[in-house]
Amino acid sequence: MRLLLVLGYIVLAPLVGGLLAGLDRKLTARMQGRIGPPLLQPFYDVKKLLNKEILLINNMQYLFAWCFIIFIVFTGGMFFAGGNILLVFFVFTTAAMFLVLEATTTNSPYSVMGANREMIQMLSYEPMILLTAVGFYTATEAALGQGTFTIREIISMPVPNVVYIPGIFIGFLFILTIKFRKSPFDISMSHHAHQEMVKGVTTELSGGMMAIIEISHWYENVFLYGIVAMFTLCAEWWSIPLTVGVIALTFFLEVLIDNTSARVKWDTMFKTTWVVTLIFGAINIFILQMFG
């Protein structure tokens, strides 16, 4: 069963992620009073990129871009296999580091600036990601008497984890805006070249390599929605429709925030994210440890 889930992720995640990207564009267009592109437009874009010539600055850029997608796929595979959530997050962070390294090898001012901002983003959201893993452990400890980092056991709780860690859930939803690269936190790169840095960390990528990065983000987004599902999935059958509804609502809210917010400066993002992490994440764990 676990092998089927991993194979399903490897095969279906790009399809699901591409459809979500197309639906994102459609909703964005409707919110702006436009018709928007076709639902399958992301797939058309990737196909067009794959047919274009790849222009590389150096071989290291090629290597790090491939490492990025390999580690992202490996992260999702470990997650859907029901492994250790701490190890999953460790590999996930390693994948993000390869994207930073890819940008720094080009010596392009736009890419290097994007890499610097990407590092700032990581410093902003990584504490919340770590607290998310700790939150799941604390929740299982409060419910079962013994904590665990194993994903299979976390989603087998008698009640949804969000009952025990609502603050962690709010904090994780907050940093999703950073990971999805949406306003107001799209400071290192954006899906559209509308920044002073053009495309940030992916400025010097072209052709098939740009397509690989785009597919990597599709894999990444499916994995992140999988983390959201962990908060509401449990041993009860009704948790499945509840999870689908929560994911759909999360998707809509991310698109809405993206279209109603202006991009902020890096220091505002850093301070805001850490405040949310401390208020919702750390206090939630403290209360659960003291009174759970």
Q: The whole model's pTM is what? A: 0.94
Q: What is the pLDDT of residues 32-52, one digit of tens each?
A: 889 989 999 999 999 999 998
What proportion of the chain, given as a percentage, has pLDDT over 90?
69
Q: At 292, is the pLDDT very low, low, confident or very high (cuts 50, 70, 90)?
A: low
Model confidence at 194: pLDDT above 60? no
Q: What is the mean pLDDT of residues 132-156?
A: 93
CA nearest 225: which of 82, 16, 84? 16
Q: What is the pLDDT of residues 158-192, one digit of tens each?
A: 999 999 999 999 999 999 999 998 888 888 776 66
- Average pLDDT of the chain? 91
What proportion of the chain, given as a percentage, has pLDDT over 70?
97
At 198 the pLDDT is 63
CA nearest 63: which of 98, 28, 90? 98
At 2 the pLDDT is 86
At 105 the pLDDT is 86
- Quick check: 88 and 6 in contact, CB under 8 A? no
Q: At 60, is the pLDDT very low, low, confident or very high (cuts 50, 70, 90)?
A: confident
Range of the domain at 26: 2-291
Q: Which residues contact 241 (CB under 8 A, 6 or more apart)?
A: none
Q: What angle, 0 to 180 degrees and rounded to 10, lies between the N-to-C axes of helices 239-260 and 166-179?
A: 50
Tokens of 88: 């999953």
Residue 142 to residue 127: CA distance in whole angstroms = 22
Domain count, the chain: 1
- Separation in Å, CA 208 to CA 31, 47, 51, 227, 246: 31, 9, 7, 29, 34
Model confidence at 152: pLDDT above 70? yes
Q: What is the mean pLDDT of residues 190-208?
A: 71
At 196 the pLDDT is 59
Model confidence at 151: pLDDT above 60? yes
Model confidence at 232: pLDDT above 80? yes
At 177 the pLDDT is 94
Residue 53 to residue 267: CA distance in whole angstroms = 38
Residue 113 to residue 116: CA distance in whole angstroms = 5
Q: What are phi and psi of 290, to 5 degrees?
A: -80, -40
At 197 the pLDDT is 59
Q: What is the mean pLDDT of residues 11-29?
A: 95
Q: What is the pLDDT of residues 74-114, one digit of tens each?
A: 999 999 999 999 999 999 999 999 999 988 888 888 888 88
Q: What is the mean pLDDT of residues 232-252?
A: 96
